[in-house]
Structure formats: structure tokens, C-alpha cells
Amino acid sequence: MQVSFTRRRFTQVLLAAAAMAAAPLAALAGNRDAFKAEETDAALKALFGDKPVTAVDDLEFKVPDIAEDGSIVPVTISTDREGVKSISLLVDANPNPLSARFHFMPGAATEFKTRIKMGESSDVRAVVETEDAIYVATRNVKVTLGGCGG
Amino acid sequence: MEVKEVKMRGRLKGDEADIKCLMPHPMETGVRKDLDGNLIPAHFIETVTCKRNGEVFMTADWGASVSKDPYLGFKVKGAAKGDVVEVSWVDNLGNSSSGELVL
């Protein structure tokens, strides 16, 4: 009786610990839904629920005014706002607007530079998530040659 | 696929490192067609993990609209000479790769 109780308890604790360890990864995996959204609003809802989104312009958000080649549009986003947990990048006119979401551990430099595909001219959004609020900055990129290869 | 290593370059300035990576990858969206008119299946990097001395400081979830052979630039705060910066990725088909740089 004593042995089976101990083994059962051990298994329970192990499973609970495994579930807790997997939780952050599961949370990240769960957000793949946002990548399937076909409108920016739906993607933001999938990411942040009904949290209000405030328009800001106090961050570095560099994109070209005109992109000759929509398949490689350079984007730089950097913010020195405190407590930033994630920065997401969305292209309104893309079939699936959410392009990337970067997660930052405390103390990490909250910035990145990458290149994205844009199918056509569009507004592009940098969405900064802190513990308390969601902030969005918008830029517009004119695309000469669409980058989705269709 | 032929999985290739992540190529990294970096410069340490004071206690901050400026890192640039190139991750060879087709980043297929799944909507392109080949010359016979068949859809090329979606094949793209889904997660990127960045570590300094084995500790994760940044991760990224990507969609297929990140460009082919993704370029990624980022900074490492509190960096020191000898630090190992590692960038690894996993794609939607389960392939993975990584690269590392010693500052």
C-alpha cells in the first residue's frame, strides 16, 4: 500500500512538473493560430484577445517607402520602452498578415532586423506587447514587384 | 532538404554585441506553383531560439512570409568576450539547424 502510494504520487508530481515545464512552449505553440488569421484585426485578437491596442510612434520602425522587390522587404524595429515581452510584425494586405513575433526574456535587447515578403503595397504594423498594454506603430510600404511569387 | 548551418557574424562593442545571421532556408509559403502547375508545399522556419552561453534571451515565431534564406539581426546585452551566442531554428516539417559565434 505504502509503495504504490509513493509511486503514484511520484508519477503525479513528475507529470505536473512536465506540464509546467511545457507550459511556456505550449503557449508559444498555441499562438500559431494567429499566423492563420487572414485579417490584421483577427490576428491581433488571436494574439492578445480583447486587450485594447494604442497607436504610438515612439519606437524605431524602419521600412522602405518603396520596395522594388516585395520578396525581400527589410524591416527594423527597436524600442526602449520598459517591460517589453514581445514585438509582432504584420502586413495588412498579405494573405496572412502576421509575419513574425519575437519574444524577449527580461533584460534582452528589444529590437530586431529582418526581411519579409509583401504581396502588394500595404500598411505594415509593429505591435509591442508589455505586461499592461499593447502598442502599435504603422508604416506604409509601396511594393513595385509583389513578393509572394504567385 | 539539405539542412545548412546558420551563418553568423558579430561585433562586441562594450557590453553589447551586434549579431547578424543568415539562415539558408526555402521559406516556401505553400501558394507557389512549380513549372508543372503543382503547388509547392509550405516549408518554412517556425521557431528561432537565440541563446547566450546556453541561456535563451530571445525566441521568435515565424510565418512563411519571412523572406527566403532569412536574415536576422539582433543585439545581445550584457555580452562579454568569450560568450557563445547560438541561433537555432525548427521548421514546420521538423527540420532544424543552428549556428554559433564566440564573441
Interchain CB distance below 8 Å, A35 and B63: yes
What is the DSSP annotation of A23-58?
HHHHHHHHTHHHHH-SSHHHHHHHHHTT--EEE---
Residues B54-98: pLDDT tens digits?
999 999 999 999 999 999 999 999 999 999 999 999 999 999 999
What's the confidence (pLDDT) of residue A137? 98
**Interface predicted TM-score (ipTM):** 0.97
Q: How far is B61 from chain A (nearest CA, A)?
A: 5
Three cell numbers, residue A100:
513574425
**pTM assigned to the model:** 0.87
Range A66-95 average pLDDT: 97
A56: in domain: yes
Which of residues A23 and A80 earns the better pLDDT score?
A80
- Band (pLDDT 50/70/90 cuts) for residue A147 is confident
In a domain, A15, yes or no: no
B65: nearest CB among A91, A109, A112: A91
Residues of B in contact with A32 (CB under 8 A): 46, 61
Q: Is residue A121 part of a domain?
A: yes
Looking at residue A8, its pLDDT comes to 63
Stretch A141-148: mean pLDDT, rounded? Answer: 86
Mean pLDDT of A60-86: 97
**Partner residue facing A105 (CB), from B29, B46, B56:** B56
Q: Is residue A9 part of a domain?
A: no
- What are the structural domains of chain B? 7-102 (2.60.40.10)
Q: For chain A, how many structural domains are there in total? A: 1
pLDDT tens digits, one per residue of B39-62? 999 999 999 999 999 999 999 999
The one-letter amino acid at B20: K
Q: Is A102 part of a structural domain of the chain?
A: yes
Residue A140: CATH number of its domain: 2.60.40.2470
Whether A37 is covered by a domain: the verdict is yes
Confidence at residue A27, expressed as pLDDT on a 0 to 100 scale: 45
In a domain, A91, yes or no: yes
Confidence (pLDDT) at A15: 63
Burial of A42 (0-12, 13-18, 19+ CB in 10 A): middle
Report the C-alpha gap between B1 and B18 in whole angstroms: 30
CA A7 to chain centre: 42
Confidence of residue A6 (pLDDT cuts 50, 70, 90): low
Per residue in A11-64, pLDDT tens? 666 665 555 544 444 444 456 999 999 999 999 999 999 999 999 999 999 999
What integer pLDDT is reported at residue B1 of this predicted model? 85
pLDDT of residue A1: 52
Are residues B78 and A112, on separate chains, in Cβ contact within 8 Å?
Answer: no
Chain A closest-CA separation from residue B94 CA (Å): 14
Task: Reduce the secondary structure of chain B to three states and give it as a string.
Answer: CCCCCCEEEEEEECCEEEEEEECCCCCECCCCECCCCCECCCECEEEEEEEECCEEEEEEEECCCECCCCEEEEEEECCCCCCEEEEEEEECCCCEEEEEEEC
Please report whether residue A82 resides in a domain. Answer: yes
A146 interaction partners in chain B (CB closer than 8 Å): none
Closest partner CB to A94 (pick from B47, B58, B65):
B65
Condensed to tens digits (0 to 9), the pLDDT of residues B2-35 reads 899 999 999 999 999 999 999 999 999 999 999 9
Per-residue pLDDT tens digits for A87-138: 999 999 999 999 999 999 999 999 999 999 999 999 999 999 999 999 999 9
Q: Which domain holds residue A89?
A: 31-145
Chain A CB contacts of B60 below 8 Å: 100-103, 112
